[in-house]
Amino acid sequence: MPKLRFAPEGWIFLIPVVILFAGALLIQWYIAAIILGLLVLFLVNFFRDPHRRGSDRHIDVISPADGTVVQIKDIPDGAVWPGLTKQVSVFMSVFDVHVNRAPITGRIIHYKYNPGKKLAAMVEKSSSENEQNLIVMQDSRGATVAFKQIAGLLARRIVFDKKEGDEVARGERVGMIKFGSRVDMFFPPNAVIKVGMKDKVKVALTVIAELPE
């Protein structure tokens, strides 16, 4: 069973609501207490940070996010990064885990933040027009993959805890996106995609693609 933890980014939201909930109970404002209690449950669920350990095979690329696969397509070489021509997109609803984890073990060879719009994350053009982080990673064999943290309609902030040049392990926490969002992954042409449209995926557990040996 995964070990359940709470993302530290959530305390700034949770503590005031808990205080208001307790106050509403003390003064017997029960309708307000019920509403605030439901909000507490929502925040606890949203900011959960379960510890998961998926595949250790070096050819496996695990999902950096919870959610639903909403796009699988080929893209032009160099559109995101040279040598990457396959894209898989995962939509993260407000009920999914929003902590992001490294898809492979390797080094972050490129990181770039792009300010942008906050279109609905289900929309295809959100991949290019929304506020986002691009992270490119390379493993010890020279295989390269990339992923984007993309803000959605309700997203208030993208958090990325690492920097260019950092070495990270598969499944290691790298950040999160607060309140509704999307993650795009990019692979070389010889990668084998292991998921299908509308599949539900789990961060650090689901294998999204296999890289060549």
- Per-position DSSP letters for 146-180, written without gaps between them: EEEEEE-SS--EEEE---TT-EE-TT-EEEEEESS
- Residues marked as catalytic: 181
33 phi/psi in degrees, rounded to 5:
-65, -40
pLDDT per residue as tens digits for the range 80-136: 999 999 999 999 887 888 789 999 999 999 999 988 666 655 666 666 677 889 999
SS3 4: coil
Domains of the chain (ranges plus CATH)? Answer: 8-46 (no CATH), 60-210 (2.70.70.10)
Strand order in the sheet with 132-138: 167-168, 106-114, 132-138, 144-151, 181-187, 86-92, 67-74, 200-201
How far from each other are the two terminal CA atoms of the chain, in whole angstroms?
31
pLDDT per residue as tens digits for the range 132-189: 899 999 999 999 999 999 886 665 578 898 999 999 999 898 988 876 688 999 999 9
Q: Helices 30-46 and 11-26 meet at what angle, rounded to 10?
A: 160
SS3 51: strand
SS3 63: coil
Minimum mean pLDDT range among 9-13, 33-37, 75-79, 153-157 = 153-157
Answer whether 145's CB lies under 8 Å from 103's CB. Answer: yes
Instruction: State the pTM of this model.
Output: 0.80
User: Which secondary-structure segment (H or E) carries 41?
Assistant: helix 30-46
